[in-house]
Amino acid sequence: MLLNDKQKNIYLRIVRYAIPYKWIIALSMVASLGVAGSDAVIAYLVKPFVDDMIVAGNMDLARLVPFLVVGLAAFKGISRYVQEYNIRTAGQHAIQDIRDQVFGHAIKRSMRFFTTNSSGSLISRILNDVNVMQAAFADVLVTLLRETLTLIALSGYAFYANWKMALMAFIVIPASAWPAAAIGKKIKKFSRRGQDAMGTVTGVLEQSFSGIKVIKAFATEEQEEQKFIRENADFFKFIKKSYKYSAASSPVMELLTSFGVAAVLWYGLNQVALGEITKGELFSILAAILLMYTPLKRLTRVNNVIQQAVGAAERVFEVLDNQSQIIDAPDAIDLPRSRGYVEFKNINFSYDEEAVLHDFSVLAKPGEIIALVGSSGAGKSTFIGLLNRFYDPQQGQILIDGHDIRGLTQKSLHASLALVDQETFLFNDTIANNIRYGQPDADFSLVKSAATQAYADEFIQQMPDGYETQIGDRGVRLSGGQRQRICIARAILRDAPILMLDEATSALDTESEAMVQQALGNLMKNRTTFVIAHRLSTIMHADRILVLDKGAVVESGSHQELLKHGGLYKRLYDAQFEDQ
């Protein structure tokens, strides 16, 4: 394998995933000896076939040839089957482990990771790149084991039979190293670019199918089709170049090996003419050398496959090597069921350079309903992200029941939190399973009770299969109000003491909003609740309203108090209700 140190380290890292399946690989290696030995025996038998049968006319020996041919073919076939089946099985096990690990690692990264890595790119790495890596296990290990052992066996016999002729043939091998390395380098370069382009193609697909309703509404099917055609053409451009260099490797090897064969023939025919060797010996050595070049050419193609696999592995390992910025502290403790005390103390936070929250403080008591209002970019959704510990603040503390959330295990933290977001994300599953998401062991009576409190039971009963109705990708078969009520039922079933409502009714019509508001009323009972809303009519009854501007709390009080104050809240209120 013509690899530099970095590529060797990457390839060895791939191979380490096969270690748990070493006994399967060992059985495959034993079978490879049978394949290699069969080719060496064929080369060896050429001498008696020519000298004793063709030249000497020994017909008794000729009668054994058909049995010998069938026997050798059967032995080689069984050996090849055992070898390929086991090595491919071991390779598939290893690939499955890699894919599981990459997905598990990626899904546990912090939210910042997903803001810098598109879903299309991640999907492409987990599916397409890992598939390319599969060749490193299956095709490479199959070919590497079998052809290396075959090359050793045939080379050993060639040197044993006539070391001078074998040496002439071997001069070709180092001569082929340079073009093979140059071709492999080009293949890796364009394969890596091709995989990057495939990530873009996957991203276009994912966005197009996810946003199909918008595409249909704006009649932009042609525009999306052309976008896909452009990205797909970019992918083809790189893959075509990879194919070009891969296809060049065989002709180059054919040309180089022809010099070795020509030298052996020239020297061997002279030796036969001088009576130094028999015709059978010449053909036997020539057969060994010709058979020897076949695994050599296959090993060159293996180098091309390895280069492609290394290019794909680099992208996969970039995900595995990414360290999450949000991790449990070594001494993190489990938060008991929270009483609902939440405090933000002097929080300063920025995503990049620009501050989003600065010197932000708020204290919420158990059962209190606190609303956050302000213009877009004021920091309202950032508040939700920080409380969920999607991000950590640069300065300050966030406390739940007096515990800094950085000192809590993330699992126990989120067990005390429930979020109803403006993006009503539902899974392509049954209604019941969507409601019990987060509480997978909840029995049906609890699911139905949660749905009833969310005012969802009535419309669910009217569905074709009731609670077992499949709702399609992102709940496409449901209306906006229905999706939101299922999300509320999910939060009710979770029964977390701290509730976050992020624009939970922003996308609903008046009738649906009224129904959802009733459901939210049931959800907020006896819970500390933080409400983010642009529609001020939905938060008038909050115990306290915080008015945010440029990342700071500029006003705080009840609805009536803030109206009397005549500040920013009054201006926002007047702007929304001036027509009334």
pLDDT tens-digit map of 84-117: 788 878 888 888 888 888 888 888 888 788 777 7
Residue-level pLDDT at 458: 84
Return the ∠ at Cα 134 (arms to 194 and 317), rounded to 5°: 65
Q: Above 80 in pLDDT, residue 453?
A: yes
Class of CATH domain 10-320: mainly alpha
Return the ∠ at Cα 568 (arms to 566 and 572), rounded to 5°: 100
Residue-level pLDDT at 504: 62
- Tell me the CB-side half-sphere exposure of residue 39, using CA atoms within 13 A: 27
pLDDT band at 43 (very low <50, low <70, confident <90, very high): low
Query: Which segment of 67-76, 83-92, 186-195 scores lowest on mean pLDDT?
Result: 186-195
Q: Above 70 in pLDDT, residue 392?
A: yes
Residue-level pLDDT at 181: 64
Distance CA 66, CA 579 (A): 100
pLDDT band at 255 (very low <50, low <70, confident <90, very high): confident
Q: Above 60 in pLDDT, residue 580?
A: no
288 close to 154: Cβ distance less than 8 angstroms = yes
Q: Above 70 in pLDDT, residue 53?
A: no
Residue-level pLDDT at 152: 79
Q: Above 60 in pLDDT, residue 390?
A: yes
Residue-level pLDDT at 191: 67
Query: Which segment of 111-120, 516-525, 527-536 scores lowest on mean pLDDT?
Result: 516-525
Percent of the chain with pLDDT over 70: 79
Range 153-159 average pLDDT? 76
Residue-level pLDDT at 262: 75
Alpha-carbon radius of gyration of the chain: 35
Range 458-464 average pLDDT? 86
Range 228-234 average pLDDT? 80
Looking at per-residue pLDDT, the higher value among 459 and 277 belongs to: 459
- Per DSSP, helices labelled H in 162-220 are 163-170, 172-210, 212-218
Q: Above 70 in pLDDT, residue 59?
A: no
Range 11-26 average pLDDT? 82
Q: Above 80 in pLDDT, residue 514?
A: no
Residue-level pLDDT at 359: 87
Percent of the chain with pLDDT over 90: 0
The pTM for the full model equals: 0.70
User: What residue spans define the domains of the chain?
Assistant: 10-320, 342-577
Range 231-254 average pLDDT? 72
Residue-level pLDDT at 62: 61
Residue-level pLDDT at 238: 74
Residue-level pLDDT at 512: 58
499 close to 524: Cβ distance less than 8 angstroms = yes
297 close to 250: Cβ distance less than 8 angstroms = yes
Q: Above 60 in pLDDT, residue 236?
A: yes
The Cα-based distances of 183 to 3, 97, 249, 305, 339 in angstroms read 12, 31, 7, 11, 66
Distance CA 364, CA 544 (A): 9
Residue-level pLDDT at 47: 65
Q: Above 80 in pLDDT, residue 183?
A: no
Residue-level pLDDT at 173: 60
Range 386-411 average pLDDT? 89
Distance CA 456, CA 445 (A): 14
* Mean pLDDT value across the chain: 78
Q: Would you tell me how many other CB atoms lie within 10 Å of the CB of residue 412? A: 18
pLDDT tens-digit map of 262-315: 777 777 777 777 777 777 777 777 777 777 777 777 777 777 777 777 778 888
Sheet holding 403-404, edge to edge: 355-364, 342-350, 395-400, 403-404
The DSSP secondary-structure symbol of 430 reads B
Q: Above 60 in pLDDT, residue 509?
A: no
The 3-class secondary structure across 338-387, one letter per residue, is CCCCEEEEEEEEECCCCEEEEEEEEEECCCCEEEEECCCCCCHHHHHHHH
Query: Which segment of 268-282, 313-327, 483-497, 504-518 scores lowest on mean pLDDT?
Result: 504-518
Positive or negative: CA dihedral 76, 79, 81, 83: negative
Residue 157 Cα to chain centre, angstroms: 47
First to last CA, the chain: 78
Distance CA 467, CA 431 (A): 5
SS3 content of the chain, % helix, strand, coil (to 5): 65, 10, 20
- 87 Cβ neighbours under 8 A, 6+ residues apart: 24, 25, 28, 137, 138, 141, 142, 145
Q: Above 60 in pLDDT, residue 510?
A: no
Q: Which of 240-244, 268-272, 389-393 has maximum average pLDDT?
A: 389-393
Residue-level pLDDT at 513: 61
Nearest to 543 by CA among 533, 555, 530, 552: 530
37 close to 153: Cβ distance less than 8 angstroms = yes
Q: Above 80 in pLDDT, residue 517?
A: no
Supply the CATH classification number for the domain 342-577: 3.40.50.300
328 close to 410: Cβ distance less than 8 angstroms = yes
pLDDT tens-digit map of 325-373: 888 888 889 888 888 889 999 888 888 777 788 888 889 888 888 888 8
Distance CA 140, CA 84 (A): 11
Placement of tokens 């009503």 in the chain: 424
pLDDT tens-digit map of 418-445: 888 777 777 778 889 888 887 888 888 8
Looking at per-residue pLDDT, the higher value among 155 and 451 belongs to: 451
